[in-house]
Amino acid sequence: MLGMARGEVATRSDDFATIFNVHHRRAVRLAYLLTGDPDNAEDIVSDAFAKVYRQWQRKDIDDIGAYIRRAVVNQANSKLRRRYLERAHASTRSGDDRGVLMVDELAGEKDQMWQAIQRLPDKQRRAVVLRYYEDLSVEETAEILGISPGTVKSQVSRGLDRLRQLLGEEVA
Amino acid sequence: MVDLETRLRETLQARAQDVEPTPLLWERVQQKRRRRTTLGWSIAGVATAVAAVVGVAILPNMVAGGPDDAPVVVGPAPVNPVNPRADVPPFVVIGEPGLVEVVATASGEVVHSFDVEPGAEIVDVAVRPSTRVPDLEVAWVQRIDGRHEIVVSRQTAEGFARYRLEEELAADAPAPSLTWSPDGRHLAWVVNSPAPGAPEEPGAVVRLRIADREDTELAPVGYSWNIGGGVRLADWVRTGDGAGTITGVSDDGQLTRFAVAGGAVEVLLEQAYPGQVPPAGESIEADPLPLTYADVAHPEGDESVRIELLASGRDEQAVPRLRAIVGPEVIELALPVDLVDADPASLRLAALGQAYAVLSLDQSHLFTRGAGLVGDLPVAGSRVLDFALGDEPSEPGVGPAAPAGLVLSDTLLATDGAEVFLLGTDGSRGQAAYQAPADRRVVAIAARPGTPGEAVLVLDDDSFVHLRPGAFRFSDPPQGPGFVSSALPARYQPRHDGARAPQPVWSPDGDYLAWLEHDGSGAATFRVVGWGPDGPGTGVTATDNAAFALRDGTAGYELIDWRWDDIAATVATLIFRTNDPDGVMSWSSGTLRRQADGAISDVEELGGEPDHGTTTLDSAGRFTLLLRQGAPEGPLTLVDAAATFVDLGSLTELGDTSLRIDAFGDGVVLYGNGLAFFIRADGVQRELPGGITAAAFVPTAGAITQPSAGHPRLDRCDATEADYPAAPAGTRQVYAHFFCGEDLSTFPVARRTVAPAVLTFALQQLFAGPDDHEQEIGFDSPFSGDTADLLLRATLDEDGNAVIDLRGEVLASVTLGHTATGRFVISVAATAFQFSNVEQVELRVDGSADRACDALAEDSDAPCVPYTRAWYEDVVAGPG
């Protein structure tokens, strides 16, 4: 026989909130390290979680932490592109054809290593942050960035060389 | 001293601790989640066709749009094309595991996501007919923890109401399914329970339940029949006041109709097949093909349409077929290429209203009864769905839409024998280019590769064949003849006129024109004429006018193709076609050698290869092969360079003796006997107007208006698009975006064209830079006459992804500092994003995205990802 039970009202928001609570802090910090911009970090992370939510609803995610990390990297990448064009605008208006305004912004920064990290080209910085902050393997880093492990090694190596160069210049 | 890597780690960890999320972050996530639009699906200006299996009936008038549509569209696109004329409901409701979403059909935008319990698998969805977006009510059946439940949820209300079904389910019978009454007041569902007393026997007791939705407890009335096999509810139509018919479909294709009148329900009929859902009491014999799935729709009135998915073949050899049955008419629907070999049992379909059907596999496709395939569902793998009405979401746009699909810089020219004219993709006849003399007819058009509009026409007066070289030129308004031609010296003309006019073939580099002649003997003669910058003749006799006798037995052969086999272009493969007296078409190949001085030294026909087909090359040098399997009436198959097979049916009406193809991208025009069809690699076909005897694609550069020929002019550089007068009928006005002073804001310069490839045209105009007058009034640009040839090709797929490929050697001449790079990118983006269906732009150099990154993103400071419309609007066009 048929049996009917009046159902209760329910949502999934509470479950996703739990995931958010577990992962959002580290996600914001990763976004900050990737972009060097604390104001943009939350914007990146909110975009990333909004996209993760859909996949999570579809139960397509095996490792939610890794998925969030990848989403943050992708969003940060988009944000960096935007910043690049903003700089192009700014440099045009100031007549600086080579300019990277960040140099001036960092002039007062005391932490030489942090200054140097922020002056890394974006690709090198992404690889360095994922390897040395997230402690990901070369293969894991390659997968997230969508490049080959060889390219990851190359970018990390060039990043470290660049850091040495920058620190040496700073010290000198 | 601590090593660098340790200090690096410590610094990153320390810096990370400096950042703490704000309490507002969760709210921002919620806001963005609600307005996300993650699904990619765009309407394309291309059409689809329905091919019948018995013969081929390519339905006319399938293609919408006018000359704006590009004649060149392409796969392998990630999605199938969408017929803009198809009457698609504005919204589709998709059910997947853990997901019930309302998606705008045109844009793919998710307009609402219903809350679904974690772990729930959605097995059926039904939209309440009396509701519309944005206040849609949806019922679905879900399986959770081994139980089945009906859930009813309203778009404007939080949460959902859930009703548990506790009846036992019959093994292998359809899962519970549901349907609404036409007035939306009642909800009906079936549960297929095991037949009592014989659990090991297949079959099920169908328990139909109907409940009044307005009752708080959804208390149903129930009916049971032992009709075997189980039933899935497909439809409920009104037949009179308080009366209606519910139609159920079993997995073996049987239809079961339940009459509903007042409070009573009875089974009317257990078998109905094939054809229109029959009146009560009539029974029709079953079709011998196993039906794997069926659904029924009632578009209007008493007309019913049945959409069927059948398995043709047995067991592992079975392949799916799809057809619509409307009254006595059975219409075979062409399946998309990616589904033709699918396991029929893995496919499902649903129908509603104007007979829309959906197949579910990795991709889901929408069909209409009249136009066949109309597009992909925006969510791959969606399992169940229904369609919904509502106000269609307005699509944001900044300008006219560029033609979707790969837009090559080609123009389709066709002839009916009397005239050569531009041909629109909808079959419309455009501007005339050439009028044949009264006593002659045009029998072939051979476009010279690598040139802007150069071609040779073949004219036949029933006694002699003449070749007439020239160049197509179009302008707006028309100025003089569209085909500027000159007579070919007699020594270069065909010497022997056989029963059939020669079909000249160009070498891929455009350096030679060749054809076969027949003098009545058993051997054909291979004629070749060298072509220089000024036309026929290079000054080297052996090159200019050479003839080679082929072996006996080649009478009636026709030269089809010429392909260089090596980079040095010294050895070529020739493809010949022959037709025996029975009309059997076969092919053979030959070889050709060229000396260092350019003279052709050797031509040899190597013998027949009956399994071969006729081939054609596109502008990228890729070949497409046309095979006739089992001539003369066997099926035709197209095979492209990516080994994509497109079955065309027999197309016997084209005839074998006159059958020819011309390639462009991954599509071809196939014509013969005065009929012509446009066919894409994914199987999309359309019939071109009757009477076409030949066609050719000609590079567009010769078919576009020049800046001085009718482009509107203003006297200041800070004008907007609105300041320009509208384009006259028959032309498109597009804009190249230049700068006006030092500021990085771009301003439009109008350009007009009659060519369909407007994205390509706009970019060509951009890269040519502002003309003298425009520079005088202040327009500035990184581009000038030196970069006029910068564009290698521009493509636009149906998701709005534009790929702009630049010539590296030209780009190398451009000095790009940081500022110039920004101006370069911004002006390209502004020009591309004027077309509302361009969603992102990827730059390449000689086909390489990496080379573009290296050239345009110095020091890797710009991440190498495509430029999106959102980025453009936020960063470039936005207030900031």
Q: Give which of B348, B390, B485, B475 is closest to B109, Cα–Cα.
A: B390
Question: Hey, are the CB atoms on A5 and B15 less than 8 Å from each other?
Answer: no
Chain A with chain B: Cβ pairs closer than 8 A: 220
Taking the Cβ of residue B166 and every Cβ of chain A, the question of whether any pair is shorter than 8 Å is answered with yes
Residue A32: its chain B contacts at CB < 8 A?
A: 15-16, 18-19
Q: Which position has the token pair 């031509």?
A: B603
For the beta sheet containing B356-360, the strands, ordered from the edge strand earlier in sequence to the opposite edge, are B351-352, B356-360, B364-368, B372-376
Q: Tell me how close the Cα of A134 comes to any Cα of chain B, in angstroms.
A: 9
Name residue B565's amino acid. Answer: D
Classify residue B154 by burial, with Cβ atoms within 10 Å: 0-12, 13-18, 19+: middle
| Dist. CA B781–CA B822, nearest whole Å | 11
**Peptide bond preceding B632 in cis form (omega within 30 of 0):** yes
Among A12, A84, A97, whose Cβ lies nearest the Cβ of B118? A12
Please name the residue of chain B whose CA is at the shortest distance from the CA of residue A88: B822
In the predicted model, is pLDDT for residue B4 greater than 70? yes
Considering CB atoms only, which of B26, B31, B36 is closest to A20? Answer: B26
Residue B394's Cβ-count burial label (10 Å; 0-12, 13-18, 19+) is exposed
Instruction: Report the Cα A156 to chain-centroid distance in Å.
Output: 16
Token pair, residue A142, equals: 């390659």
Q: Do B4 and A9 count as a contact with CB atoms less than 8 A apart?
A: no
Tallying the residues shown for chain B, one arrives at: 880
Residue-wise pLDDT for A20-75, tens only, equals: 878 888 899 999 998 888 878 888 898 888 878 767 776 667 788 888 888 898 88
Higher pLDDT pick, B304 / B691: B691
Looking at CA atoms only, how far is residue A103 from chain B in angstroms?
Answer: 14
Angle between helical axes of A122-132 and B4-17 (0-180°, round to 10): 90
The answer to whether the CB atoms of B821 and A9 lie below 8 A apart is no
Can you tell me the distance from the alpha carbon of A122 to that of A33, in angstroms, rounded to the nearest whole number? Answer: 11
B399: pLDDT strictly greater than 60: no
Best of A15, A25, A29 to disrupt the B interface (most B CBs within 10 Å) is: A29
**Does the beta-carbon distance from B860 to A123 stay under 8 Å?**
yes
**What pLDDT digit, counting tens, does each position of B330-369 carry?**
666 666 655 666 777 677 666 655 545 566 555 566 665 5
Give the pLDDT confidence of B649-674 residue by residue, as tens digits. Answer: 666 666 665 666 665 444 566 777 76
In this structure, the number of other CB atoms found within 10 A of the CB of residue B640 comes to 22
Q: Do B115 and A129 touch (CB under 8 A)?
A: no
Which chain A residues contact residue B819 at CB under 8 A?
A: 88, 91-92, 96-97
pLDDT of residue A129: 93
pLDDT at residue B139 in the model: 92
Residue predicted with more confidence, B342 or B61:
B342
Overall average pLDDT of the B244-254 stretch: 71
The whole-number average pLDDT for the span B277-287 is 39
pLDDT one-digit tens code per residue, B845-870 = 877 777 787 777 544 444 567 888 88
How many other C-beta atoms lie within 10 A of the C-beta of residue A2? 16
- Averaged over B179-204, what is the pLDDT? 74
A-facing residues of B in 850-879 (CB < 8 A) are 857, 859-863, 865, 867-868, 871, 874-876
Number of Cβ within 10 Å of residue A109's Cβ equals 11
Tell the residue number behind the tokens 């197509």, with chain if given: B472
Tell me if B817 and A123 make a contact (CB, 8 A cut-off). Answer: no
Among B819, B843, B850, the residue to mutate for chain A (most A Cβ within 10 A): B819
List CB contacts of B537: < 8 A, sequence separation 6 or more. B489, B492, B529, B530, B531, B544
Q: Which of B9, B18, B818 sits opposite A132 (nearest CB)?
A: B9
Assembly ipTM: 0.83
Question: B594 at the A interface (CB within 8 A)?
Answer: no
pLDDT digits (tens, 9 = 90+) for B515-568: 988 877 778 889 889 888 778 887 776 667 788 888 887 887 888 778 777 666
Of B7, B158, B218, the CB nearest to A4: B218
CB contact under 8 A, B28 and A42: yes
Residue B127 near residue B138 (C-beta atoms within 8 A)? yes
SS3 A125: helix
B713/B777 Cα distance (integer angstroms): 11
- Does B25 sit within 8 Å of A24, measured CB to CB? yes
Torsion (CA) B757, B758, B761, B767 in degrees, nearest 10? -130
Cα A72 versus chain centre, distance: 5
Residue B266 CA to residue B264 CA, distance in Å, equals 7
Mutation target for B interface from A1, A4, A162, A171: give the one with most B CBs within 10 A. Answer: A4
B272 has pLDDT over 60: no
Which of B861, B792, B871, B863 is closest to B826 using CA atoms? B871
Return residues 326-345 of B near A (CB < 8 Å): none
Hey, are the CB atoms on A4 and B865 less than 8 Å from each other? no
Instruction: Kindly report the nearest CA distance between residue A151 and chain B, in angstroms.
Output: 13
* Residue of B26, B33, B192 to mutate when probing chain A, most A C-beta within 10 A: B33
Over range B223-238, report the average pLDDT. 71
B 97-136: CB under 8 A from A: 97-99, 113, 115-118
Tokens found for residue B657: 């003796």
> Which residues lie below 8 Å from residue B774, measured CB to CB, with a gap of 6+?
B717, B738, B749
Q: List alpha helices for B429-529, DSSP H.
A: none
B207 contacts in chain A (CB < 8 Å): 2
pTM for the model stands at 0.37
3-state secondary structure of B676: strand
| Residue A141 and residue A130 in contact, taking contact as beta carbons nearer than 8 Å | yes
Beta-carbon neighbour count of residue B222 at 10 Å? 14
Q: Testing the interface with B: which of A16, A56, A57 to mutate, by most B Cβ within 10 A?
A: A57
More confident residue, B293 or B507: B507
Higher pLDDT among residues B57 and A126, named by residue: A126
| Cα A95 from Cα A83, distance rounded (Å) | 18
Contact B867 A57 (CB under 8 A): no
- Tens of pLDDT, residues B450-502: 666 788 998 887 777 888 888 776 554 455 557 777 778 888 888 765 556 67
- Hey, is the C-beta of B606 within 8 angstroms of any chain A C-beta? no
* Predicted pLDDT of residue B496: 62
Phi first, then psi, for residue B16 (nearest 5°) are -60, -35
Q: Which pLDDT score, from 0 to 100, does residue B384 have? A: 65
Minimal Cβ distance to B8: which of A6, A9, A113 = A113
B6 touches chain A (CB under 8 A): no
Q: Kindly state whether B818 is in contact with chain A, defined as any CB-CB distance less than 8 angstroms.
A: yes
**CA–centroid distance for B544 within its chain:** 42
Say whether B25 sits in a helix, a strand or coil: helix
The whole-angstrom distance between A167's CA and the closest CA on chain B is 10
Question: From the CA of A57, how many Å to the nearest CA of chain B?
Answer: 6
Tell the residue number behind the tokens 């509107």, with chain if given: B712
Q: Is B641 exposed, middle or buried (0-12, 13-18, 19+ CB in 10 A)?
A: middle
- Average pLDDT (B88-112) is 74
Contacts of A98 in chain B (CB under 8 A): 817-818
Q: Does B521 touch chain A (CB under 8 A)?
A: no
pLDDT class for B35, splitting at 50, 70, 90?
very low
- What tens digit of pLDDT does each residue of B416-459 get? 888 887 765 445 666 777 888 888 888 888 888 766 678 899 88
A24 vs B contacts (CB less than 8 Å): 21, 25-26
